Chain A
C-alpha cells in the first residue's frame, strides 16, 4: 500500500515529463532525447533560486516559504521553456526535412550538452534539496491511524500541482486558438501551413509548453525527493519516455495515464524486487510494450493527438 502512494506521486512527475515527450513527438515525430536532461537542469534552477532567496537549506526556516516556492517554480518553468525553445531553434529546426535519424542524433548531442552544463553548474556529487514542505501525514494525524501507509502533505502537494497542470494542458490543446493550431500541425503540417498557420511558431510553442511542464515537475521532484544530481535526467527521461510510449506516444491523455501506471510499476518493483532492479523493470517494460503493442494503451484514439 505504501508503494502505491509513492508510485502515484512519482507517477505525477513522470507524467509531466512524459507530456513533454509526447507533445513534441506528436507534432514533429522527434524523440526529444534531451528532455530528461532539461528536467534535470530545471531542478538545478529551483535549487539555485531557493538558495538565492535564502532557503538553500531548511535549517532556521520556520514554516513553508510559499512565496519562495512560487518564485522557484516560475523560474524553472520559464528557464526550461525558453531553453527547450532555443534547443529546437538551434538543433532541430534545420533538420526538420532531414532523414529521421539526423534530428535524433542531434537531440542526443543536445542531451550531452545539457548534462555537462549540469555537471559544471552543480558538480558531480548529488546535491541536497531543501525539505521545505510541512511534515504532515494525513493518515496518522487526521484519521488517527498508525499504519505503514502514509499520505503526507508532500504527496498532496505534488498531486495538487500536477493534476491542475495536466488539466490546464488539456484545456490549452482543446480550447485555445494555439491548441487548435497545434492539432492541425500535428495532423498535416503542409496543409496547416497553407491554411495560414505559422508552423514554426506553433512548433516553438509546443517546445515551450513541454519545457514549462518539465520545469514544474522539477520543483516537485526536488521538494519530494530532497536531492538532485546531474545524471538525474537520463533515468528520468527514459522513464518518462517509457510512460509516453506506454500510453501511446503522441497521445496526451495516454502520456498522463502512462506516467501514473509506470510510477506504480516502478515503485512496486522497488518494493518487491529491490531498488537496484527498478530501472531493469522499467526498461524491460519498455521493450515489451514496443514489441507487442507499439501503439501503446491508448494509441488508437488518434482524435486526441496533439
Chain B
C-alpha cells in the first residue's frame, strides 16, 4: 500500500499531477488572498469571510447529502445551535450565571463544544427519523429547521428572542486583534476550511466513505453486505451537524450579534444550492460551487446593483435607481435549481460516480433502467 496524503492522491499519472497543481494553486490563492486584495484595492475582505464560512457549511452538508444521500433541508438549524451554544458560553448576556459573572469559556474550547452540541442534536434528530424514506426525511429536517429558530424566538428569557444576543466572546490569541481586524478571521476560517476538506476527503476515501456510497446507491444491497445502516447514517448526520455547529460558533463571534432570523430556511437552501450547483459529493466541486454562488451573491449582485443604480441616476429613472438586484436572489436561485435539475443534475463539477448514477437511465437504455426502478420501488414499499 502506498501512503496516501490526501483525497487527490488517489488519481494517477497526468490526472494526479493536474490535481496536485490545482489543489496547491487553490490553497496558495486562498492564503495569499488578503495580499492580492490589498494590492488590487478590491476591498473584498468583509465579503470573502462569509463566503468561506458558507463553504465550510457546504462541505458539512455535502457529507450528509452528497456522500450519504440523505436530503437535509434544515441544515441551518445546526448552524443556529452552534452559534447559540457559542453565545451561551461566551456572551455577557448568557443564560448561564457563571458566564455572566465574568467567567466566559475560552472561545476555542467553546467552538468545539458548539460542534459537539450540534452533533448531539444531529443524533437526536437523526436517530428516530433515519428509518424514513428520503423525501420524508427531507420534510422532517425541514420541520426541524423551522422549529429551532421559532423556539429561539419564543424563549426570550434564555435566548433574548428577536432582539438577539450581543456581544459574543472573541477568540484569544496573544498579539492578534480579532476585534478590529478581519484578516485573522480570514485565516482562522481558511484554516478550518482546509481542515474540513482534509477530514471529509479522508473519510470519503476510507471505509465509512465507501459505506456511505454503497448506502446511497442501494440501501438494501448495502445492508446485505454487512453495513450497519443506522450507525452509518447517524455518523453522516452528526458529522454534518458538527461542521455546521463549528461554523456557527465562528459566525456568531465574527458578527458579534446573532438573532433567529439569521438561521431561517433560506440559509439551508442557499447552502444546498452551493453543493448542487458545484456537484454533489465532489469536494472540489462543492468548493467551486460555493465560491461561484457566494461570489454571485455577495459581490456580483452588489456590482450589478451599482451599475443599475448608475444607469438609473444617469437617465433620471427613479425605479432603476432604487432597484435592489439582490432582492431577486431567491428568484435567481429558484430558476437555477430547476434549470440544474433539468439540464445537469450532477452539478457543474460532478464526481464521476455521481454522474454515473444520474445518467444510468441513458446508458443502460430505458427498458433496463425501468426494470431496475420497478424492482427498487417494490423493495421500498
Interface residues of A (CB under 8 A from B): 29-31, 90-91, 94-95, 97-106, 108-113, 115-116, 119, 190, 234, 238, 241, 245, 276-277, 279-280, 283-284, 286-287, 290-291, 294
Contact = CB atoms under 8 A, between A and B. Distances in A.
Contacts of A91: 338, 341-342
B21 interface: no
Interface of B: 69, 71, 73, 128-129, 132, 134-136, 138-140, 142-144, 146-147, 150-151, 153-154, 265, 269, 272, 276, 327-328, 330-331, 333-339, 341-342, 345, 357-358, 361, 366, 369-370, 373-374
A234 B265 contact: yes
Given A31-B139, A105-B337, 18 more contacts: A94-B342, A98-B358, A98-B361, A101-B71, A104-B135, A109-B336, A112-B330, A112-B334, A112-B337, A113-B331, A113-B335, A116-B334, A241-B139, A280-B151, A283-B146, A283-B147, A290-B139, A291-B128
Contacts of B334: 108-113, 115-116
B341 A105 contact: yes
A99 B153 contact: no
27 contacts: A30-B135, A91-B338, A98-B361, A104-B71, A105-B71, A106-B337, A108-B73, A109-B333, A109-B337, A109-B341, A110-B334, A112-B334, A112-B337, A113-B338, A115-B330, A116-B330, A116-B331, A238-B143, A238-B146, A241-B139, A245-B139, A276-B150, A276-B153, A283-B146, A284-B147, A290-B136, A291-B128
Interface of A is mostly: helix
Nearest to B366: A97
B143 A294 contact: no
A287 B129 contact: yes
B374 to A, nearest CB: 7
Contacts of A294: 132, 136
Contact of A31 (B135, B335, B374): B135
A116 B338 CA distance: 14
B330 A109 contact: no
A216 to B, nearest CB: 25
Contacts, number: 124
A5 B116 CA distance: 46
A108 B150 CA distance: 21
Contact of A112 (B331, B342, B369): B331
B276 to A, nearest CB: 6
A241 B142 CA distance: 12
A100 B71 CA distance: 10
Contact of A100 (B135, B154, B333): B135
Contact of B129 (A99, A190, A284, A291): A291
Nearest to B360: A99
Given A111-B334, A283-B143, A294-B132, A95 B265 contact: no
A90 B335 CA distance: 11
Contacts of A94: 342
A206 to B, nearest CB: 18
Q: Which 4 A-B pairs have the closest CB atoms?
A: A112-B334, A109-B337, A116-B331, A283-B143
Contacts of B358: 98-99, 102
A109 B339 CA distance: 9
Nearest to B333: A112
A110 B331 contact: no
A103 B138 CA distance: 13
Given A116-B328, A294-B132, A108 B269 contact: yes
Contacts of A101: 69, 71, 134-135, 138
Contacts of A95: 341-342, 345
Contacts of A119: 327
A77 to B, nearest CB: 24
Contacts of A102: 341, 345, 358
A150 B144 CA distance: 35
